[in-house]
Amino acid sequence: MSHLDPPSPQARRSRARHDDAAPEPYEAPDVAPLAVDAEPSGAPRTGKRRASGRAGRNLPAAIGVGLTLGAVVLTSLFVWRPAFLAVVVAAIGIGTWEMVRAVRERAQPPLIPLLAGGAVMAGLSWFGGAEALSLGLLATLLAVFVWRLGEGAAGYQRDVTAAALIAVYVPFLASFAILLARPDDGDLRVLATLLAVVLSDTGGYVVGVFFGKHPMAPSVSPKKSWEGFVGSLLSTALGSAIALHFLLDDGSWWRGGVFGLAVAGASVLGDLGESLIKRDLGIKDMSQLLPGHGGLMDRLDSIVLAAPTAYAVLALLLPPS
């Protein structure tokens, strides 16, 4: 048959079936969820498979990274306190770089003034306290606004808005860990906060794996459950009541319980907040700085909200002497 002859009815039917099965020329592929349960919804989950399927992460790697980071922080706190400032400045710098890198597809926030502003905020917190930290944030935002002027008007509002979010989310909130460490018993205050975050994460993980049935925020973090959240609250309240009693020599157990509840709530919100940012950006991890395990901010997401919460609660219930 000549290529000019009309197609036969069988050829037209075959072509129609092929066209129906083919995707639209400009149809974007669906983006898979960042964290899903690989097992069928009705399948039983037991033992190691249950833990790894529900948690969505490599637990031994998470424990190893957590222990390493914790050892660095605690060594700086209890061996030579000023070294803690250097550790926080380094963490702020890495976290800021990860955030700027993560939003590059959406905005172009200037990295240099953000890095410099983060170091300034941390230093002002160490030497001047909370009031100086606020001045550092204002100075950082002003530096970002002026620096970005040199690149022209195109995308200016978008870029400075992203930069402002990063300046608040990473260096400003992280600097509250420095404010926690300033008093004479600051090393113990930081230790109590870290213990509370660990208890929150561990309690939520264990209870969520074995008893979690009701999703807490399925569109943001499908694996978080209300049962796990309750486990976080209870384990952190109980553990913090004991920790504050012995670490800060407090005779009122209820203060430790309140502290634990507040820090656990902030930890969960911090985790959900970063999950929301990553979903909006369409990424799984902030970076691949920790091989096979994501970025530093993926490990510190709970702490960025837990630190200011701990500082506020301890300043109210157990002010430094």
Quote the pLDDT of residue 58.
67
Cβ atoms 247, 188 nearer than 8 A: yes
- For residue 16, tell me if it sits in a domain: no
Quote the pLDDT of residue 64.
79
Tokens linked to 305 = 């909200």
- For residue 28, tell me if it sits in a domain: no
Quote the pLDDT of residue 292.
57
Angle, helices 253-281/186-211, rounded to nearest 10 degrees: 70
- For residue 8, tell me if it sits in a domain: no
- For residue 42, tell me if it sits in a domain: no
HSE (CB half, 13 Å, CA atoms) of 270? 26
Note down the domain range covering 243: 56-317
pLDDT by 10-residue block (mean), the chain, 321 residues: 47 46 36 34 41 54 78 93 96 96 95 98 97 97 96 95 98 98 95 95 94 92 92 97 90 92 97 93 88 81 96 95 77
Residue whose entry in the numeric block shows the structure tokens 């002497």: 321
Quote the pLDDT of residue 65.
75
Is residue 222 within a helix (H) or strand (E), and if so which, with residue range? Answer: strand 221-225
- For residue 172, tell me if it sits in a domain: yes
- For residue 125, tell me if it sits in a domain: yes
Please give the tally of structural domains in the chain. 1
- For residue 47, tell me if it sits in a domain: no
Angle, helices 303-317/186-211, rounded to nearest 10 degrees: 120
Q: How far apart are CA 205 and CA 142, in angstroms?
A: 41
Quote the pLDDT of residue 267.
97
Tens digits of residue pLDDT in 75-104 = 999 999 999 999 999 999 999 999 999 999
Cβ atoms 268, 234 nearer than 8 A: no
Quote the pLDDT of residue 321.
77
pTM, whole model, 2 decimals? 0.80
- For residue 25, tell me if it sits in a domain: no
